[in-house]
Amino acid sequence: MREALTRTDPEIARLIASEERRQAQKIRLIPSENYVSQAVLEATGTVLTNKYSEGYPGKRYYEGQQFIDAIESLAIERAKKLFSAEHANVQSYSGSPANLAVYLAFLKPGDTVMGMALPAGGHLTHGWSVSITGKFFKSVAYGVRKETGRVDFDEVRALAREHRPKLIWCGGTAIPRTIDFPAFAGIAKEVGAVLVADIAHIAGLVAGGAHPSPVGHAEVVTTTTHKTLRGPRGGMILCNAPHASAIDKAVFPGLQGGPHNHTTAAIAVALSEAATDPFRNYAAQVVANARALAEELTARGYDLVSGGTDNHLLLVDLTRQAIAGKPAAQALDRAGLVLNYNTVPFDPRKPFDPSGIRLGTPAVTSRGMKESEMRQIGRWLDEAIQAAKRNDPSTLDQILGAVGEMTRAFPAPGLDSIAP
């Protein structure tokens, strides 16, 4: 399939082939990763990458847009229909640029913004200090209750009343529970702030009916188009009609030049797939799988932040296991179980050597795995972590072999032809 690439650059071709084998043979549990369909892969790798298209459908700065306009218009209409949104912008290069466009649309440097603190599960772009959003704007962070691991709405309301932010973010990168969009909307309305829901992690669950939608509560919704939505790596902004012009101007010409048309086409394909009954079944199974995995880990003595999960994601505090997140994640990778180390709320350890691990079920569910496989994965996770504690690489290698048997039984979408 890649004859020209192999001839021109065999080194890159070899590395891509190796990555294909890795994705096919290992159990991928990073909650922000997934498998796209063969159709999405094909749309991404097309001649659309050759075309410049600065502007929007019907209002371009280059000629030859007859087919590009049709493709982008399809993506826009499919996004609006799928999420019941009044307006959609599908040009953002990814989630972080989409979030930055929201700042540009509504704020001036120095204005106040509120978002969930990064150590509590928020995202860098919600005003955290190391991000441009925390350097150019006055940032106020809210967190979670130590006893429950859930958002402390009393704190959110008190901070909003005290600081009167112009923008409030809800959503994040390590939130295992349902986001209470109506509660956030009530607080934002009380202080006159624009509420922005970042659903990058849960967009597919929202589209599939497995998580409540922020549309109708948040004036603006941002998301990536990969993760649970199973599209290409891109970004998207939904908003109500009064904000449409400000959002579009912030994306182009405010932040970007020409959109990536091959990505736009693949987004359109993914949105079409997400509007089907099989995708709704997929979204429900993602949640069912996460709960089954949570139950298995809890039964084995693991502490889950907030006590469990309502969505695709689990955040596990390994303090009781007497191992840090980073060495645990490295050992699990050797055993064929790929996840990431992660801070947990009120973590006494440093971000590069935290107490927790973060894992999720989008990719394994795309392979067709269900609750019984999740329970087995939970057993392997525990066995590998115990092996890491006693410096037992042979057990890790044994688990890797068993993982290979499972992955051969559940071929990965788009990688069905990869040899075991």
Using the predicted structure, report yes or no on whether residue 80 has a pLDDT greater than 70.
yes
| DSSP code at position 300 | T
For the CA atoms of 318, 324, 326, 330, what is the dihedral angle to 10 degrees?
A: -80
- 3-state SS, residue 10: helix
Is 198 an annotated catalytic residue?
yes
Cα–Cα distance for residue pair 360/350, rounded to 1 Å: 23
Nearest to 220 by CA among 64, 104, 362: 104
Q: What pLDDT was estimated at residue 415?
A: 87
Using the predicted structure, report yes or no on whether residue 419 has a pLDDT greater than 60.
no
The residue annotated as part of the active site, out of 227, 230, 291, 358, is: 227
Stretch (H or E) spanning 382: helix 371-389
Tokens coding 31: 């909650």
State the pLDDT confidence band at 370, using cuts at 50, 70 and 90.
very high
Average pLDDT on 181-195 reads 98
Question: Rg (Cα) of the chain, in Å, rounded?
Answer: 22
State the pLDDT confidence band at 418, using cuts at 50, 70 and 90.
low
Stretch (H or E) spanning 333: helix 325-334
Cα–Cα distance for residue pair 376/358, rounded to 1 Å: 18
Average pLDDT on 348-354 reads 95
State the pLDDT confidence band at 417, using cuts at 50, 70 and 90.
low
Higher pLDDT, 258 or 415: 258
Is 178 an annotated catalytic residue?
no
Q: What pLDDT was estimated at residue 144?
A: 97
Using the predicted structure, report yes or no on whether residue 209 has a pLDDT greater than 70.
yes
State the pLDDT confidence band at 416, using cuts at 50, 70 and 90.
low
State the pLDDT confidence band at 131, using cuts at 50, 70 and 90.
very high
Using the predicted structure, report yes or no on whether residue 352 has a pLDDT greater than 60.
yes
Tokens coding 13: 């071709």
The residue annotated as part of the active site, out of 54, 180, 333, 371, is: 54
Q: What are the chain's domains?
A: 42-274 (3.40.640.10), 283-409 (3.90.1150.10)
The residue annotated as part of the active site, out of 21, 60, 150, 233, is: 233
φ/ψ of 116, rounded to 5, equals: -70, 135
| DSSP code at position 193 | P
β-strands 313-317, 303-304 pairing: antiparallel
The residue annotated as part of the active site, out of 112, 133, 222, 224, is: 224
Average pLDDT on 199-220 reads 98
- Average pLDDT of the chain is 97
Q: What pLDDT was estimated at residue 2?
A: 85
Q: What pLDDT was estimated at residue 191?
A: 98
Q: Are 205 and 286 in contact (CB under 8 A)?
A: yes
Average pLDDT on 37-66 reads 97
Q: What pLDDT was estimated at residue 1?
A: 66
Question: What is the tens place of the pLDDT at every residue in 2-46?
Answer: 899 999 999 999 999 999 999 999 999 999 999 999 999 999 999
Is 408 an annotated catalytic residue?
no
The residue annotated as part of the active site, out of 198, 219, 296, 317, is: 198
Average pLDDT on 69-77 reads 98
Is 54 an annotated catalytic residue?
yes
